[in-house]
Amino acid sequence: MGTMLEIRNYTKTYGGDRKAADNVSLTVESGDIYGFIGHNGAGKSTTIRAVVGVLDFTEGEIYIDGHSVKNEPMECKKVTAYIPDNPDLYENLTGIQYLNFVADVFGIGAEERRERIGKYADAFEIKDALGDLISSYSHGMKQKVAIISALIHEPKLLVLDEPFVGLDPKASFTLKEMMRQMCEKGTAIFFSTHVLEVAEKLCNKVAIIKQGRIIASGSIEEITEGHSLEETFLEAESGNEEQHITS
């Protein structure tokens, strides 16, 4: 078990004064399912986009598998997969054309990709639609294609932004099962969610972010202290005093 993601004093400032993320620090180990929770506009997506190398940041450092996102972005991206909250895929490609594009980028062999795409497409019940244009897909179907494209290269770190939005109950269950299996194999998973029940059941660690600052982080047991995650979250959100719990 090693550190897969380390965010160290990450700060993102907009327009010179407004801090969207302020001195955020957290660590995700291999095998962790790490939930990142906070209300709308708290800074979750800003942090996630910086982790996956999409967003530039002002201060701090982010390391993935020991590589700096700032200085060695390619090394980081090779072991990371990202699923955005609203996947903007190439609408005029078919599902299979898009998946082949991502597989080509990661150099997945023909036989391997056939097997993996087949396995995941079956699991998410989207195999029959892979020959259709993505523009004809529903939001959930696009989300499923984005998930398959993320899993296709078996990443060491999986970063997901609100992954359950738009998924049907069965696909949602399948994704949770897959996340557990990947975690058992040593993949680190870092995801944001508003569904606190999911975070409580699925994650071994969580961090709560409020107005760009981490107000609580650690293992579920340490954070909740016997209460539900929902109660803990609401209490932390309403509290003026900062509560810093680290595992």
Partner 1 sequence: MKNSILLLKTLLLSTSQSNIYRHTKEKKRRGKVVGAYIGLACLYAMLIGYGFAMCLGYGAFGLTDAIPVMGGLVICILAFVFTLFKTNGYLFNFKEYDMLMSLPFAPETVAGCKFLYMYLKSLPWYLCISIAMMAGYGRFVHPGVFTYILWLVLSFFLPIIPMLGAAFLGFIIARISTGFKKTKIVQTVLTMIFVVFCFSIRFIVEDMFRNDKVEATLEMISDKTDSAARMYPPLKWFADSVVGRGMGVLGALLLIVVSVILFAVIFRIVGRSYRNINSAMTSHAAGRKYKMTTQKMRSVTGAIAFKEFRRLTGSVTYMTNGAMGILLASLFSIVTLVIGFDKIIATVTQGAPIDTALLQPAIPFIIYFFIGMMSSTTCSPSLEGKNYWIVQSLPIEKSTLFKGKMLFNMYLTVPFMTFGIICLCISAKASVVDSIAYIILGIALCAFSTAWGCVCGVKHMRLDWENEVEVIKQGAAVMIYMFPNMFICMGLIVLTVVLGMRVNHMVLTLILTLIAAGLAALSYLRVMSLCRRMQV
Q: Which residues bind partner 1 (CB under 8 A)?
A: 14-16, 18, 20, 41, 46, 49, 52-56, 73-74, 77-78, 80-82, 84, 87-94, 97, 101-102, 104-106, 131-133, 135-136
Convert 160-185 to b/e letters by CB count within 10 Å (16 or more is b): bbbbbebbeeebbebbbebbeebbee
Q: Which is closer to partner 1, CB of 18 or CB of 240?
A: 18
For partner 1, the closer CB: 2 or 41: 41
By DSSP bridging, strand 205-210 and strand 18-29 are: unpaired
Task: Work out how close the CB of 240 gets to partner 1 at its nearest, in angstroms, rounded to a whole number.
Answer: 17
| Sheet strands side by side (includes 59-64) | 18-29, 3-14, 59-64, 67-68
DSSP states along 72-96: -HHHHHHTEEEE-SS----TTSBHH
Q: Is 236 helix (H, G, I), strand (E, B) or coil?
A: helix
Please report how close the Cβ of residue 56 comes to partner 1 at its closest, in angstroms: 4
Pair of tokens at residue 131: 């020959």
Whose Cβ is closer to partner 1: residue 105's or residue 234's? 105
End-to-end CA distance of the chain: 16
Tell me the one-letter amino acid at 47. Answer: T
- Find the shortest distance in angstroms from Cβ 170 to partner 1: 25
Q: Are 208 and 215 in contact (CB under 8 A)?
A: yes
State the nearest-atom distance from the C-beta of 218 to partner 1, in Å. 27
Give the nearer residue to partner 1 in terms of CB position, either 93 or 198. Answer: 93
Shortest Cβ distance from residue 159 to partner 1 (Å)?
8
Q: Which is nearer to partner 1, 139 or 180 (CB)?
A: 139
Instruction: For partner 1, give the closer residue by CB, 72 or 125.
Output: 72
Residue 83 or 216 with smaller CB distance to partner 1: 83
How many other C-beta atoms can be found within 10 angstroms of the C-beta atom of residue 221?
A: 11
Assigned token pair, 184: 């058992």
Q: How far is the CB of 149 from partner 1 (least distance, A)?
A: 9
Least CB distance from residue 124 to partner 1, whole Å?
A: 18
The Cα–Cα gap between 218 and 102 comes to: 34
Distance between CA atoms of residues 71 and 65, nearest Å? 13
- Dist. CA 217–CA 104, nearest whole Å: 38
